[in-house]
Amino acid sequence: MKIALLGYGKMGKAIEAIAVQRGHEIVAKIDLNNAAERENLSPDSVDVVIEFSSPHSAYDNLKFCMQKGLKVVCGTTGWLDKRTEIEGLATESQAAFFYASNYSIGVNLFFQLNKILARIMAPHQQYEIFTSEIHHTEKLDAPSGTAITLAEGIMENNPAKTSWVSNEIPKASEIGIWSSREGKVPGTHAIKYISEVDEIEIKHTAYSRTGFAFGAVLAAEWLRDKTGIFGMEDLLNEKAS
C-alpha cells in the first residue's frame, strides 16, 4: 500500500517505522519544510494519507485531501470545530475520512470501559466526576482529544452531565478535565468518581508512541477499499465480528 504522511514529527516517524515494517511504501513525507509537495498527492499516486500534523495545519490539510477525493486517516486534535465541514466535503467528493482522537487499541478499549462505568454510576449522584490527562510538553492543545472523548462518553451515559470544563472546578452538570504537561509523557488518562466515603478510578497509561502508530497504520489498511466517514469503533466492531 502507498502511504503519504502529512506531518513528519515524532508521531509521523513512528508511523513510518510501523508501516514499513508491515510492508507498505511511504511515497511522501510532508511537513512545514516541504509543504508545497502536498500538491502532488492524488488518488492515483496514494492509497491512503495519514495526517498527524498540528492543530493549526490540520484543517487546511484535510480540506485539501477531501477536495482531491483522497482517503485520509487523521489523528490530529485541536481542530474539531470544523469537523462537520470536513465530513461534508468527504461525502461530496466520495472520499474516505477516518478520525480518532486516539489510535491506541488499549485506549479505545478504555473508551468502552469508560462508557460502561458511566452508565453504572449514573444513578449514584453522590459521586463527583473528574478526569485528568498528562502529556509531554510538546503537545499544543489542552485538554487532549482523548480526554474530551472520555468526557463525551460519560455525558452519553449520564444525563446529569451536559458539558465539560477545563482546569476549573465544575458545576453539578459539568465534568472537570484537569490537564498537565510534563516532560516526555506519551499520555496518561484517568477517570475518578469521588464521594465523601470512597473513590473509584480507572486509568490508562501509554508507555510509548508505538501503540498509537500501530493503530493508525491498522486504520489505513482497513480504510484502503472504503469510502465514507469512519472511526475506531467501526474498525474494532468489524474486527470483533
Q: What whole-number distance in Å separates Cα of residue 154 and Cα of residue 214?
A: 27
Amino acid at 193: Y
Q: What is the mean pLDDT of residues 223-233?
A: 94
pLDDT-derived band at 230 (thresholds 50, 70, 90) equals very high
Reply yes or no on whether the pLDDT at 156 is more than 90. yes
Q: Are 51 and 61 in contact (CB under 8 A)?
A: yes
HSE-CB at 196 with a 13 A cutoff on CA atoms is: 2
What pLDDT is recorded for position 44? 95
Q: What is the mean pLDDT of residues 101-126?
A: 94
Helix H or strand E encompassing 51: strand 48-51
Of residues 213 and 238, more confidence is placed in 213
CATH T-level topology, domain 2-99+210-240:
Rossmann fold (3.40.50)
Residue numbering of the annotated binding site: 37-38, 75-77, 100-103, 136, 145-146
Contacts 24+ apart (CB under 8 A), 158-167: 158/118, 158/119, 158/121, 158/122, 158/129, 159/122, 160/122, 160/125, 161/129, 164/131, 166/142, 167/142
Residue numbering of the annotated binding site for NAD(+): 37, 75-77, 100-103
What pLDDT is recorded for position 239? 65
Residue numbering of the annotated binding site for NADP(+): 38
- pLDDT per residue as tens digits for the range 177-220: 999 998 888 889 999 999 999 999 999 998 888 888 999 999 99
Please report the DSSP string for 102-130 in residue order: ---HHHHHHHHHHHHHHHHHTT-TTSEEE
Task: Give the max Cα distance, the chain.
Answer: 62
- pLDDT per residue as tens digits for the range 8-56: 998 999 999 999 999 999 999 999 899 999 999 999 999 999 999 988 8
What pLDDT is recorded for position 209? 84
What pLDDT is recorded for position 217? 97
Q: What is the mean pLDDT of residues 161-177?
A: 96
* CA-based nearest residue to 112, from 83, 142, 149, 144: 149
Q: What whole-number distance in Å separates Cα of residue 239 and Cα of residue 241?
A: 6
Which architecture, in CATH terms, is 105-206?
2-Layer Sandwich (3.30)
pLDDT-derived band at 147 (thresholds 50, 70, 90) equals very high
Domain ranges of the chain: 2-99+210-240, 105-206
Q: What whole-number distance in Å separates Cα of residue 96 and Cα of residue 113?
A: 28
Residue numbering of the annotated binding site for (S)-2,3,4,5-tetrahydrodipicolinate: 136, 145-146
List, in sequence order, every residue forming a beta bridge with 191; answer none if it has no partner: 131, 202
- Residues with a catalytic annotation lie at 135, 139
pLDDT-derived band at 241 (thresholds 50, 70, 90) equals low
Percent of the residues in the chain that have a pLDDT greater than 70, as a whole number: 99
Q: What whole-number distance in Å separates Cα of residue 124 and Cα of residue 185?
A: 33
